[in-house]
Amino acid sequence: MKTETKAVDINRNIGDFAYPEVHVRDAGAGLSEKTVHYISDVKEDPDWVREFRLRGLKTFLEKPLPTHWASKDLETIDFDKIRYYLAPGTGAKRSWDEVPEDIKRTFERLGIPEQERKFLAGVEAQFDSEAVYSNIKKAVGEQGVIFVGSTEGLKNHPEIFRKWFGKVIPIADNKFSALNSAVFSGGSFIYVPPGVKVKHPLQAYFRINAENFGQFERTLIIADEGSEVTYMEGCTAPKFNTATLHSAVVELVALKGAKIQYITVQNWSANVFNLVTKRGLAHENAEVKWIDCNIGSRLTMKYPGVVLKGRKARGEVLSIALANNGQHQDTGAKMIHAADETTSNIISKSISVGTGRATYRGLVHVPKHLKNCKNNTECDALLINATSRTDTYPAITVRGTGNAVQHEASVSQVSADQIFYMQQRGLTEAQAMSLSVNGFVNDLVRQFPMEYSVELKRLIELEMEGSVG
């Protein structure tokens, strides 16, 4: 059956627009100690942060690119052409009315203020390197919940910030966590006091507006004993002809009995290299759950992980990746069991369209001395065209006798007969594809919060619309 695909102009209906740059702070192109000092000066960093950045830079320059196991495409990133810090210099406002007009219009087009009114407990909106808006509902703030940008967090709450910052993901974890450590800016700092359950999600929105630019936000979330919080992040960028780099570091700490749910709605344009390190630390009886949806980008490398440090800790990664024409989604999960009776669950679904490639990489580690640990891993891949590709690399090490592991993987293809059947009922080829893909992810999406699953279905429809020739 004819299923030609053409180049997909993704996000053209949602995120593909850009306003002229309005930045007054610009570190220029290229990365050196000078760049790092510029950022530290502008942000008025304390000395320990400046030193942390310089260590990050040194490590970044020393470490080789992981092209031997990942993707040669990484070698096409020209680190000298990228601009590492761009900011309007206005600071984060508490009211949308105070946000500069152009930037405010950007977020209005993306629907952020509307969502905030509807169902969010707090919002932070980042435009290139810095947050331009940050607000938390009064009632939530009164419970002692802190929700600010990383710069404000390290300045105003050093006693909590410094204790955990860089502890879950050390500088030298990988080349891109080192890069982030050198030039990080923006991202969220969240602290939830003991026993506080934040009812509605806190949301951050990351927007890249500038060309030849790198966004390096740094997020740190600490849920104190018995507390609960859900955090959602959304990301978009306009479609430029040159490469854009997004390299975030996200650290989560769930103290005894706490629960953190972290949801990502990533919808990057096809020129973005998305190289993100995300990890959570789950203490006794705590739970860290990543819901990670990767749509768009040129290359995404992201493996959210949970270190199960305390007895009975639980870790979960539910992920969906859609690799369209020319895109590579290299995603997966890491579960490091480090205490008895810990459990982890990984469910990954990927869809490859056209020449798209989806790779699942999983790491599950249960050492010999532990007892009664459990892991369940399921990864399913759906291929749309004969040119689509999927790879699965599960690395599961379970030692000792009292631990259980379960692994299932499947690859399926949307058949020409299935599409013909659906077309015979009156659906266009694109509608048929989109319904098939939604059917494929349906049982997983049902576990997501309502607002998120609606958004995801809409994004999948948009992607499939553009993918049929």
Partner 1 sequence: MKELRVENLHVSIDDQKIVRGLSLAVPQGEVHAIMGPNGSGKSTLAKVLAGHPDYQVTAGKITMDGENLLELDPDERARRGLFLAFQYPSEVPGVTIANFLRAAVQARLPEGQELEATEYYARLYEKMEQLGMDRSFTSRSVNEGFSGGEKKRTEILQLAMLEPRYAILDETDSGLDIDALKTVAHGVNSLRGPNIGILLITHYQRILNYIVPDHVHVMVHGRIVRSGGKELALELEERGYDWARDAADEMALSR
Residues near partner 1 (CB under 8 A) are 1-2, 412, 415-418, 420-429, 431-432, 435-436, 438-443
H or E element at residue 411: strand 404-413
**Alpha-carbon distance 349 to 352, whole Å?**
10
**In the complex, least distance from residue 441 CB atom to partner 1, rounded to whole angstroms:** 7
Q: Is 391 helix (H, G, I), strand (E, B) or coil?
A: strand
Tell me if residue 103 falls in helix, strand or coil.
Answer: helix
Pairing of strands 146-149, 188-192: antiparallel
Neighbouring-strand partners of residue 83? 29, 213
In angstroms, rounded to a whole number, what is the distance separating the alpha carbons of residues 174 and 56?
10
CA-based nearest residue to 262, from 283, 282, 245, 244: 282
Residue 373 in 3-state DSSP? coil
**CA of 376: how far to CAs of 273, 331, 340, in Å?**
30, 17, 16
Nearest to 269, CA basis, from 215, 309, 306:
215
- Give me the sign of the Cα torsion angle 429, 431, 434, 440: negative
Determine the Cα–Cα distance for residues 301 and 177; give it in Å rounded to an integer: 12
